[in-house]
A = this chain, B = another copy of it.
Amino acid sequence: MPDHIFYQLFESESSTYTYIIADSVTKEAAIIDPVIEMIDRDLKLVSELGLKLKYVLDTHVHADHITAAGEIRNRTGAKSALSKDAHVECVDIALSDGQELFLGAKKITALATPGHTNSCMSFLFENKVFTGDALLIRGNGRTDFQQGSSEKLYDSIQQKLFTLPEDVCVYPAHDYKGQTASSIQMEKKFNPRLGEGRSKAEFIQTMSQLKLADPKKIHEALPANMACGKVPVFRP
């Protein structure tokens, strides 16, 4: 029996990956970046696997979908956690860089990887790192809103992620081309903007020229996610 449990799940409207990780012995589990529309699918799997959901983690305050964190907390009693720099008051645990959470004896380490937003975190668990919208497969998150910073993102990826062991598997929050996983080694070699030989100056210039449209749901998702996924009711 493997010593940990791992499931990857996909939500097709926002191309978001959600992850379930657990310790095989105690069955203590965490869910990372759950999407509100998929809560029944995800909690059904947690139940079928016989897991006890201890944490619901968001890598950041998402702009493209609404988190299921608050509702999962309501239904299961799991503690929600997010970077302290997000200043989301409703979370149970405001995470600091390097903070450790445990599933049985297995450790999740929160790594501050700002740049896509000012409060992005990656989560290291066993031989896997969940990189949110910081490091994507052969790509990276945009840096043009939510206090994004190309300079910070470059440093986060080069100094925090690319210094992990090369065989660590990379699991991002999104992919738009049907890729499901990568590794630190593969991204160091082949990431077109951040791989070998790519300078910070070059990266900053490339990012400044992208001129992307806002995510469709940004005006709905940001206020909801600042409230742990609770959709605000606007009264006339």
Residues on A facing B (Cβ under 8 Å): 1-2, 7-12, 38, 41, 45, 48-49, 167, 177-181, 186, 189-190
Contact = CB atoms under 8 A, between A and B. Distances in A.
- DSSP majority for the A interface? mixed
Nearest to A35: B178
B48 A189 contact: yes
Contact of A178 (B9, B178, B179, B181): B9
24 contacts: A1-B167, A2-B167, A7-B180, A7-B181, A8-B180, A8-B181, A9-B178, A9-B180, A10-B10, A10-B178, A10-B179, A10-B180, A11-B178, A12-B12, A12-B178, A38-B178, A41-B177, A41-B178, A41-B179, A45-B179, A48-B186, A48-B190, A49-B186, A180-B180
A167 B189 CA distance: 33
Nearest to A169: B2
- Copies assembled: 2
Listed from nearest, the 10 A-B pairs whose CB atoms lie closest are A10-B178, A8-B180, A9-B178, A48-B190, A11-B178, A41-B177, A12-B178, A9-B179, A180-B180, A1-B167
A178 B186 CA distance: 25
Contacts of A41: 177-179
A87 B45 CA distance: 40
A38 B177 CA distance: 9
Nearest to A12: B178
Contacts of A190: 48
A203 to B, nearest CB: 20
Contacts of A181: 7-8
A10 B181 CA distance: 11
Contacts of A179: 9-10, 41, 45
A189 B48 CA distance: 9
Contacts of A177: 41
Given A10-B10, A38-B178, A41-B179, 14 more contacts: A1-B167, A2-B167, A8-B181, A9-B178, A9-B180, A10-B178, A10-B179, A11-B178, A12-B178, A41-B177, A41-B178, A48-B186, A48-B189, A48-B190
A218 to B, nearest CB: 22
Contacts of A38: 178
